[in-house]
Amino acid sequence: MSVNSSPIRVGLFVTCLVDMFRPSVGFATVKLLEQAGCTVEVPEAQTCCGQPAFNSGDRETTRDIAKQTIAAFDGYEYVVGPSGSCIGMLHYFTDLFDEADPWKARAEDLKKRSFEITSFLVDVLDFDQVLASFDQKVTYHDSCSGLRQLGVKSQPRKLLGKVDGTELAEMPEAETCCGFGGTFCVKYPDISNRMVSNKTGFADETGAQTLLGGDLGCLLNMAGKLKREGKAMEARHVVEVLAGMTDTPAIGEADYDLGKQL
């Protein structure tokens, strides 16, 4: 697609974890979208996709958050976010309303317009003009919702293939859950710990310097484990590499912004 055709108006779904923990992932997403010819806006009325409530069985809170999110993203041609699981949640909004409820149709409409970033770039925009270099051996973890709900598998790999200097070494069981699971990791910490230990073990076997993924929840989990285990491997969101924004420290590495006041 040509960068000069009339711009596509995209609403960025930041996701609460990116907002809180890794703003650079948000900026990398914006940069990629702009490179692909989109104009990006960030609706202020967004908070979280509602997964904590949905997966804890609190339908009412989930519905309220769904309505707020649907309204916040009204009118955007596309809604794009750097997370398979949060965009997947936006798709689940359709399950929250009865056929007769006017919100049902609005939820269906949002579902059609919302995409995980790598799948949006590849499947919708057919974008491949990646302008980045990252001279490292990397490995890639497929986060569950992106993989199984949204079919995100080849897209990040295809884009990574365009990055100068990056070599992808696949780990065994790349598709096995890392044990994050939202509240699961604090409700069942022992089981979660076993799962993430398996994951960091497999990632480490590849000899990669950096572990990449497309969901910050999983990445915080895996990065936290890698650091606790004293492993040298670093962790980053894939968009940081694709956008050429790897000059900042990796996840859980030294805080460059320390001391800046609120």
Partner 1 sequence: MQIKSPEFKENARIALKDVGLQKALGNLKAGFPEKRAIAVQRMPEFHDMRDEARDLKNHILENLDIYLEQFESKVTENGGHVHWCRTSDDARKTILDICQQVDAKTVTKGKSMVSEEINLNEYLEENGVQPIETDLGEYILQLRNDHPSHIIAPAIHLNLEDVSEAFHEHHKKPKSDDPAVLMQEAREELRTKFVNADVGITGANFLVAETGSTIIVTNEGNGDLTQTLPKTHIVITSIEKVVPTLEDMTLFLRLLARSATGQEFTVYNTLSTGPRREGDADGPDNFHVVLVDNGRSDMVGGELHDMLRCIRCSACMNHCPVYGAVGGHAYGWVYPGPMGSVLTPQMVGIEKAGNLPNASTFCGKCEEVCPVRIPLPKLMRHWRTNEFEKHLSPKAVRWGIAGWGFFAKRPKLYRQMSNTSNWFMRTMAGKKGRINSLPLAGGWTDFRDMPAPSGKTFMQQWQKKQGDKS
> In sequence order, what are the beta bridge partners of 133?
164
7-36: contacts with partner 1 (CB under 8 A): 14, 16, 18-24, 26-27
**Residue from 86, 41, 47 nearest 64 by CA:** 47
How far is residue 65's CA from residue 54's CA, in Å, rounded to a whole number? 10
- Rule CB under 8 A: choose which of 98, 99, 126, 255 binds partner 1: 255
CB nearer to partner 1: pick between 2 and 254: 254
* Interface with partner 1: number of residues (CB under 8 A): 76
CB of 37 to partner 1, least distance (A): 19
Range 31-60, binding partner 1 (CB under 8 A)? 42, 44-48, 50, 52-59
Q: Which two tokens stand for residue 33?
A: 């979208």
Whole-angstrom distance, CA of residue 237 vs CA of residue 146: 14
For position 246 contacting partner 1 by CB under 8 A, the verdict is no
Minimum distance from residue 50 beta carbon to partner 1 (Å): 7
Q: Hey, what are 53's tokens?
A: 């409530």
Region of 31-39, 97-105, 154-162, 181-189 interacting with partner 1 (CB under 8 A): 181-189
Q: Does residue 61 belong to the site contacting partner 1 (CB under 8 A)?
A: yes
Q: From the list 2, 186, 232, 247, which residue makes contact with partner 1 (rule: CB under 8 A)?
A: 186
Binding mask 133-162 for partner 1 (x = CB under 8 A): -----------xx--xx-------------
247 binds partner 1 (CB under 8 A): no
Q: Please identify which residue in the block is written with the tokens 């108006």.
A: 9
CA–CA separation, 166 and 160 (whole Å): 7
d(CA 34, CA 19): 19
Whole-number Å distance between alpha carbons of 78 and 43: 13
Residues 201 and 212: their CA atoms lie apart, in Å, by: 15
